[in-house]
Homo-oligomer: A and B are copies of this chain.
Amino acid sequence: MITLKELADRCGVSTATVSNAINGKSNISESTKMRILQMIEETGYKPNFMARNLRVNSKRTIGLIIEELSAFTSPAIIEGIMRYFEAQKYETILYNMRVYSNLNWMDDEKFLQSGVNNAVDELLSKQVNGIIHVAEHSRKLKYYNHILPVPVVISYAYTDERKLPYVSIDDETSTVKMAEYILSKGHTKIAMICGLNDNLHAQKRYNSFKRVLKEHNIHFDEDLCVFVNWTRDAGKEAAAKVLKKGVTAVFCHNDFLAAGVYDYLYEHNMQPGKDLFVTGFDDHIVSSYLHPGITTMKLPLLEIGRKSAELMDNLLKSDAKYGIEGFEIPCELIAR
């Protein structure tokens, strides 16, 4: 590829003049500018990004650490972030940790920590002005205990490290909405199929649901609740247990669990929606393809991304690195 210097030689001008022409400076005659631009066209010259950015040191670049690009939540969060930053004329760089195939995910926090360290090193060496960490699933992160020279925002997860700002979902109000919706349908004996019990979301949803029932003077029966893995199979198994107890509705902590309940119902010749009212959580695309479509809470993924970007933008503007609290965004009830 031709360089700016060669271009200058061909035009018979200095590199400074070419640079001015390219960058639209006003101190240049129309004729030489034209000559240069035409030569650029002819030669297919492209400025070298590395060289340029080495020289001018304000880059407006945000690094995104994506734990897993293939996670169903990631693309929408990224879209929210990019949409914001594109409007604000920031550039974004993606680093995909690929935890599904790279690490013994879940099993080894040490691997994850070193994966994050690698990501941070790479992004910092690319001179990003800030880092947004997009989690594969929402949990409490603890990978940023050492101080970085740029601000960090946690997206779709919590953290209490160094008062890092984070953006996650508001489980309390979301669960309240869902619980009241279920109650409004006249159900009083309601099962709850919860996610893993060491999970913050499962805990919050469990507690909020319990509270709503109490507020409505409905007996909360511990026996109608199970904590299981977040999968379709686990949902099916859980349904077997819980349905024996004569419930008329079941609140599932995600859509896959709900799909598992559907599986159980189909297998036992029962009709979801009729013989049992089932609700999910996430508004994963499958929730509208189950039959009948399932009522669920829509994760505000775009908004999580947008808000994360906005927090970063504010941090950068104020030159602060910490001090902003976390944000929790309510989900939207999708009744089906």
Question: What is the bound-complex CA distance between A79 and B50, given in angstroms?
Answer: 26
- A285 within 8 Å of B (CB atoms): yes
Q: Taking CB as reference atom, which chain B residue is nearest A125?
A: B49
A contact set with B: CB distance below 8 Å: 1, 44, 46-54, 69-70, 74-76, 78-79, 82-83, 86, 93-94, 96, 98, 100-101, 121-122, 124-127, 146, 149, 259, 262, 266, 285-286, 289-292
In the complex, which residues of chain B have a beta carbon less than 8 angstroms from the beta carbon of A285? 285-286
The 8 closest A-B pairs by CB, nearest first: A286-B289, A49-B125, A70-B75, A50-B54, A46-B124, A50-B50, A94-B94, A49-B126
Q: Check A76–B82 contact: CB distance below 8 A.
A: no
Cα distance A98–B76 when bound, in Å? 11
Neighbouring B residues of A50 by C-beta, 8 Å: 50-51, 53-54, 126-127
With a cutoff of 8 Å between Cβ atoms, the chain B residues found around residue A54 in the complex are 48, 50-51, 54
Specify which of B75, B262, B292 is in contact with A74 (CB 8 Å cutoff): B75
Q: A70 contacts which of B52, B79, B96 (Cβ < 8 Å)?
A: B79
Query: Residue among A70, A121, A266 with the most chain B CB within 10 A?
Result: A70
- Please tell me how many copies of the chain the complex holds: 2
User: Quick one: closest B residue to A293, CB to CB?
Assistant: B263
| Nearest neighbor of A102 in chain B, beta-carbon distance | B86
A79 near B98 (CB under 8 angstroms)? yes
Which residues of the partner chain B approach A51 to less than 8 Å between Cβ atoms?
50, 54
Contacts of A75 in B (CB 8 A): 69-70, 74-75
A15 to chain B, nearest CB (A): 15
A127 adjacent to B289 (CB under 8 Å): no
Cβ-defined contact, A48 with B290, below 8 A: no
Which of B1, B78, B93 is the one whose CB lies under 8 Å from A149? Answer: B1
When the two chains form their complex, are residues B83 and A76 in contact, meaning their CB atoms are under 8 A apart?
Answer: no
Distance from A175 Cβ to chain B, minimum over Cβ atoms (Å): 24
Residues of B within 8 A of A94 (CB): 94, 96
A99 to chain B, nearest CB (A): 11
Write out the residue numbers on chain B whose beta carbons fall within 8 Å of the beta carbon of A48. 54, 125, 127
Which of A47, A79, A266 is most buried by chain B, counting CB atoms within 10 A of its CB?
A79
Report the separation of the CA atoms of residues A60 and B51 in the bound assembly, to the nearest whole angstrom: 17
Residues of B within 8 A of A286 (CB): 285-286, 289
Query: Separation in Å of the A289 CB from the closest CB of chain B?
Result: 4
In the bound complex, CA of A270 to CA of B188 (Å): 33
Instruction: Establish whether residues A259 and B98, one from each chain, have CB atoms under 8 Å apart when the complex forms.
Output: no
Given contacts A1-B149, A285-B285, A290-B291, contact A96 B125 (CB under 8 A): no
Contact with A83, one of B46, B101, B262 (Cβ below 8 angstroms):
B101
User: Nearest residue in B to A72 (C-beta to C-beta)?
Assistant: B285
Residues on B with C-beta less than 8 A from A266 are: 291-292
Complex Cα gap A101–B204 (Å)? 34
In the complex, A69→B69 CA distance in Å?
A: 9
**In the bound complex, what is the Cα–Cα distance between A47 and B103 (angstroms)?**
26
**Inside 8 A of A262's CB, which chain B residues have their CB?**
291
